[in-house]
Amino acid sequence: MTIPQSAGQPRITHVLLADDHVPYRQRLRAFLDEVPDFEVVAEAGDGRTAIRLTRELNPDVVVMDVAMPELGGIEATRQIIEAYPAVKVLALSMHSERKFVESMLAAGASGYVLKENALDALAGAIRTVLGGGTYVCPSLTPCSSP
């Protein structure tokens, strides 16, 4: 379901939030709802649901938690990027260890944001990956250079 844009209106970025922690996901949604050119089109609590909703809704970007039940964010990212290469995936995690950053980027994520910095960094990170760049939370830059 792709929502058409009217001429003269700013392009709306469709975002899918995938995180198993409901209160945190709700906080992210409330934040993104305040950004005029972003629209959260759906939420997922696990990787399998994130893949299904990506197939059904074709969002511009999936904000993907790394650690989720049923199917983790790394494998869900790999499957989304393989099936829907135009969709950008932005990893979101409380894990700052190099192995998580590298695994998500290797799976096809275009960026990595720490949950502790998400409200400060998320809008800019989404814009960076949609513009074709890679975003890695500045505090992680020494860990990974894509």
The HSE-up count of residue 36 (CA atoms within 13 Å, CB side) is 3
Cα–Cα distance, 49 to 55 (Å, whole number): 10
Which pLDDT does position 120 carry in this prediction?
87
The pLDDT tens digits for 60-113 are 999 999 999 889 999 999 999 999 999 999 999 998 888 999 999 999 999 999
The HSE-up count of residue 29 (CA atoms within 13 Å, CB side) is 15
The pLDDT tens digits for 19-50 are 999 999 999 999 999 999 999 999 999 999 99
Q: Model-level pTM?
A: 0.87
Which pLDDT does position 70 carry in this prediction?
87
The domain spans of the chain are 13-141
Which pLDDT does position 6 carry in this prediction?
46
**H-helix segments, the chain:** 22-33, 47-57, 73-83, 98-107, 118-130
Cα–Cα distance, 46 to 21 (Å, whole number): 10
13-141: CATH, from 3.40.50.920, 3.30.460.80, 3.40.50.2300, 3.40.50.150: 3.40.50.2300
Q: 72 is written with which tokens?
A: 């983790």
Which pLDDT does position 10 carry in this prediction?
67
